[in-house]
């Protein structure tokens, strides 16, 4: 009988409400980010961004791109530049949507990151999770992040943090 009681408790714990979200299938995140260290060149006041290796494909147009500049902010930290890819004239050259304003980088080795901006998917997840949690207080839920690199240009909801206000989450 004691064994049955333990089994019953174990079964009850497993059948408690558990909500499962998948960022890609439920909220259409792409997770298609790329992160490459390479030699880049871009001049102050330019939108023409060049790399020494064939990195870019036509499908990269519209994706968010970012890299660290050689400039420092008021706290002495490197400034990060972000934009979107407007065109791809060649595998080694893209045209940025925004003009680069900073010290020109000529044959500078930098880490460049680009991919679909998944911030809207994270915002949608946060809104759905908070709504679900309001009607299921104390219950646990899970967020599945499939393999990939998720780019977050700006998470507008959730005060800039995709887990803001969420409790009992397993990622």
Q: Can you read off the two tokens belonging to residue 28?
A: 């259409």
CA–CA distance, 96 with 171 (Å, rounded to integer): 34
Give the count of alpha carbons within 13 A of 92, CB side only: 9
Chunk the chain into consecutive blocks of 10 residues (it has 171) and report each block's average pLDDT, rounded to whole numbers.
41 57 90 90 96 95 91 88 95 96 90 89 87 83 77 58 72 71
Q: Can you read off the two tokens belonging to residue 147?
A: 């393999």
The answer to whether the beta carbons of residues 142 and 26 sit under 8 Å apart is: no
Q: What is the pLDDT of residue 58?
A: 96
């Amino acid at each position: 009988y004691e064994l049955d009681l333990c089994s019953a408790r174990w079964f009850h714990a497993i059948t408690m409400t558990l909500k499962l979200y998948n960022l890609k299938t439920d909220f259409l995140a792409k997770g298609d980010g790329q992160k490459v260290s390479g030699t880049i060149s871009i001049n102050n006041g330019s939108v023409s961004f060049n790399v020494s290796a064939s990195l870019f494909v036509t499908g990269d147009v519209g994706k968010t791109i970012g890299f660290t500049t050689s400039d420092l902010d008021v706290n002495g930290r490197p400034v990060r530049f972000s934009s979107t890819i407007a065109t791809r004239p060649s595998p080694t050259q893209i045209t940025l949507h925004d003009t680069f304003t900073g010290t020109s980088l000529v044959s500078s080795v930098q880490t460049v990151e680009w991919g679909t901006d998944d911030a809207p998917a994270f915002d949608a997840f946060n809104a759905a999770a908070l709504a679900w949690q309001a009607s299921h207080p104390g219950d646990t839920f899970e967020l599945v992040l499939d393999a990939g690199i998720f780019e977050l240009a700006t998470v507008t909801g959730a005060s800039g943090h995709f887990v803001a206000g969420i409790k009992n989450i397993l990622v």
